[in-house]
Structure 1
Amino acid sequence: MALFMDPLDIFLMILGATLLSTAYTVWLTTRPIKEEDPPSEQAIARSEVTTRRSATECPATIKALSFYYMGVGAFALATGIWGLATWPLPSSYNIVLMDPWALFGVAALIVGLALYFAGSLNAASIPLAFLGIIPIVYGVDIIKYHLTTEPSLAAALYILTGLAPLLSPLVYMTNGRSMGRYMGYVVMVILILAGLIAYIIGVGATFEHTAGWVKWTPWYG
């Protein structure tokens, strides 16, 4: 067992916490409000009776969330770069586990900075969509080469985690239309499923890795 395997447990649980938090973030940044003025006939025809909440309506909550994403992003990016530079995991596992972890750090930083400076994910949803393709590719890779002890579950985690940002432009670039709100619900469900899978794998790995290292002592001990 590689010496670096133990932190992977907490990485997975941090990922799960962030995915579940992101489901809340999507709800917060896309929930509709009624317009003060009666909608025009043209607006009704376009199903634009509601508009998206702006950053000024809940600035404290959005800014607090931005700090969370920036903190998690900095941690994931730093540890991901460390893993890429030192190659602590055996064979292809370092590729499929450490590369996406560093990418997750980049994505979390993008979300955090977008929430802090813009109060929304409208513009950020475009680059996030392109980044979302990458974990989907890794998920297919895991299935093809049967990597990890539970390749199907791990692949589902990767694919769902990539699918959520891939669909995000349909949520944030539709100007409050019904399709955007419905896609927001779809993305929230995807994020919740991915978050639960991350927790399931992470919790299971915690007990497995703890048992594997229970008799290990460092060279100085």
Structure 2
Amino acid sequence: MTAEFIDSLAVMLLALGMTTAVGSMYFLFSALGNEKKIQSLLFPAAGIGVFDFLSGFIMSFTWPLPSSYNMLFGDPLLMAGLLLTVSAIAYYKHYDISSVSILLFFLGIYIIIESVGIVNYHLETGNDLLAAMGLYVVDGIAALLSPVMFIDPKKGKAAYIVEAAILAIGTLIALFIGYTAIYGHLLDFIKYFP
């Protein structure tokens, strides 16, 4: 079997898992009041955010995959990367980043709409459907709930921990799909020579 296109989804899923892991740790450390740990997340967040933005941008505007998969995968990663990078820089500069959660809320709506599209347009089937729906629904819910950032972490500790847990679940799903994908893609592309 030869590959008909370059498939960068495995590494993008790895990056998405890293993105949601950083988000999960941010909410957890905020709930615990550990500012030093939050500061330690800023440079990794900016780096992975830039990667997400660039890989999403390339996918959204060059369409390396067949059909609407470019919108399904590229668009949300582009926006998530942009918001993660902006948040990391703003937090580093000591700005309040709670307003970013409104933009994440809008991204959550977009992701939930994509979840409906996955089912209605049969973009994924069988075992892939369950994993894809799990990823999109969990990440969509996490984005929809991100305005908990407007609550003081000391007063809304439980809300921050719930958000951290949801993002951790999204992390595990993204990493599972990404690791499974890279294993399969190694065989799919074994005889591919550009």
- Normalising by structure 2, report the TM-score: 0.87
State the distance in 2 between where 1:192 and 1:181 align.
16
State the distance in 1 between where 2:97 and 2:31 align.
10
CA contact (8 A) 1:73 1:109 kept: yes
- Equivalenced residue count is 190
Residue matched to 1:19: 20
Residue matched to 2:100: 124
Residue matched to 1:160: 138
- The root-mean-square deviation of aligned C-alpha atoms, in Å, is 2.1
State the distance in 1 between where 2:63 and 2:78 align.
13
State the distance in 1 between where 2:124 and 2:159 align.
32
Deviations 1:32-66 (CA, angstroms, capped at 9, x unpaired): xxxxxxxxxxxxxxxxxxxxx4xxx735x433312
CA 1:204–1:96 in 2, change beyond 3 Å: closer, same or farther?
same
Residue matched to 2:171: 195
**1:58 is the counterpart of 2:60:** no
69-78 vs 191-200, which moves further:
69-78
150-159 vs 193-202, which moves further:
150-159
CA 1:114–1:155 in 2, change beyond 3 Å: closer, same or farther?
farther
Letter in 2 for 1:17: M
Alignment partner for residue 54 of structure 2, among 60, 68, 78? 78
CA contact (8 A) 2:56 2:73 kept: no
Unpaired runs of at least 5, structure 2: none
State the distance in 2 between where 1:176 and 1:75 align.
29
CA contact (8 A) 1:19 1:191 kept: yes
How far off its partner does 1:71 sit?
A: 1.2
Residue matched to 1:182: 158
CA contact (8 A) 1:63 1:119 kept: no
Aligned residues with identical type, % of pairs: 33
How far off its partner does 1:107 sit?
A: 2.2
State the distance in 2 between where 1:176 and 1:216 align.
50
State the distance in 1 between where 2:52 and 2:151 align.
31
CA 1:186–1:117 in 2, change beyond 3 Å: closer, same or farther?
same
Alignment of 1:83-94 (within 5 A): 83-94=59-70
Letter in 2 for 1:21: V
